[in-house]
Structure 1
């Protein structure tokens, strides 16, 4: 397939169009504003619509309305914008509506800064919305992967009738890389007549579809949450994604890192290997569901003496890594926040210090 040099935000936007999404609602916020700029021009060319709302709160309920009608729709924002959408995300989960969110993260808390960060890990995988609310979360490590994940995100959202988030950072959104787009034919959403508000003429029977998240009967609400929990467990069984690097032989330290930070770690692994220090890298591609078993199996190998979680935040993923590893091996964290990106040399230095501080005999 031919490749074209594109900025990450624009590649994400084009991939959404090619996935058959003709409905985009958003409010501008850096470092993802180019998605809206691109779609303002691109969507009318294919009969689609970009509607800029007056706020992120309005955006998420536009998304709710479109999804409730069975339309393929998505939005994009950055950290504080996603925070404003969190109530609506919970409503989407509760009503079991498919929608796609793109979060090109910036530093925080508060307004923070517009430089790259991974400081929304906890928000995405633990606190996307109130109640027992979960989103499926994908973390791309390149512009190509971000584009590929957009098609996957719509398919997953519709398969599970649940919001899906593509969680990138400022580097993913702003850097330019060669990208090719999958040859794909937009497939209509399956079985939407069973739940969407498409009108009585669109389905058999006389019972109208009601899109809601309100369940006043405690027994019904409990059962509803049990059904959602079963859906999340099915996601974990069927959709878990991760990648191992340099794990064919023995390794002394296991690095765990996601997104663009994992690319820095990959370079650090190569640098250490050239010096005779064997280190492996496990990259979670799905942050929810999280590859706990895979991390546990990689850490329990006798050659592995320590695990290091490397992140562009203050250690948000490290607790999940610790839970995965248990007490079998020591787990530590290294990272930076606010827009500073740890260099391969810095990561390699932390690994060497970890080895020096431990008895590896």
Structure 2
């Protein structure tokens, strides 16, 4: 719904659980607004169809889950190298390998470190609710056009199957003038979109140009905080798991524990500066993830200096922790670090 509201008129995808609700919805509703839905023959085909459609200036998207996103990595690298926008949704499932269809946050490295070949980055948005999935999808199209770069939305199987109230809203973004798109060369100078640079020094210059763009993306950092004013321990969690963490922290507050929360909404760029500022008055941090530990590395980069302590609790893919379980684990760290 958010994609269509934002002007997406082309969707290319291939079935995989648990993201199949997306192509099912798009196949029904895109034609009604003059759009095109194509079930491609593979994930590789779908990402290259996204490349082609976006190169003409159209707003387009694809979606998949974990192994399918792995197959799209080459195309993502080509899109970044060619500076072609587009939106890619990953409703991640458990891995490695085929794994299972239960929720996981084990695609964090793949999403935030590029995932494919070469020296590139994509903005990564991590919704924690149906409402945020809707709102951030509209924002994703604006960011993709603004930076001429793919934007990744990282959800998971829990969010992908969740049903809850949604408040729709009119799209308020402003179209970006795209002077670089391929529309046929009649009556205008030639335009070339490419990622192949063979002249001496040409690729070096191009990569430094892209790097400056990735640095500019830091203007788009978003995060949510709770109860930081008196916190003696700050828990960092993202996506659907952050909602369970909030319940656990509510239980902790009821017992007088001074625990706060920071929830990154942009996983790339990560809120390093905000966490570093918090670490000037709080010495204890804890990452909680549906993995064996990936975001914790970014947390350590942000606050792992001086006398700060960074703890971690992870639940590998295959099951979802309860608020009681997370409360127990967070309380153990709180008592150990504040005794």
After the TM superposition, list the runs of 4 or more consecutive aligned residues in structure 1 that deviate by more than 3 angstroms.
185-188
Shift in Å, 1:314: 0.9
Equivalent of residue 78 in structure 1, options 65, 76, 100: 65
TM-score normalised by length of structure 1: 0.91
Which residue matches 2:231?
A: 251
The equivalences for 1:205-224 within 5 A come to 205=188, 207-224=189-206
Which residue matches 2:148?
A: 161
Contact 1:335 1:342 in 2 (8 A): no
Contact 2:311 2:333 in 1 (8 A): no
Unaligned runs of 5+ in 1: 1-13
Shift in Å, 1:284: 0.5
Q: For 1:248-305, what per-residue CA distance to the aligned partner results, in whole angstroms no more than 9, with x for missing partners?
A: 3x1121100000111111111111010011100000100000001111122221xx34
CA distance in 1, matches of 2:199, 2:115: 25
Contact 1:310 1:335 in 2 (8 A): yes
Which residue matches 1:286?
A: 266
Shift in Å, 1:347: 1.7
Matched, 1:334 2:313: yes
Which residue matches 1:229?
A: 211
Equivalent of residue 143 in structure 1, options 100, 121, 130: 130
Which residue matches 1:241?
A: 222
CA distance in 1, matches of 2:79, 2:158: 29
Summarize the Cα distance change of 1:353–1:197 in structure 2 as closer, same or farther, 3 Å threshold.
same
Which residue matches 1:307?
A: 285
The equivalences for 1:166-181 within 5 A come to 166-181=153-168
Matched, 1:191 2:177: yes
Shift in Å, 1:185: 6.0
TM-score normalised by length of structure 2: 0.97
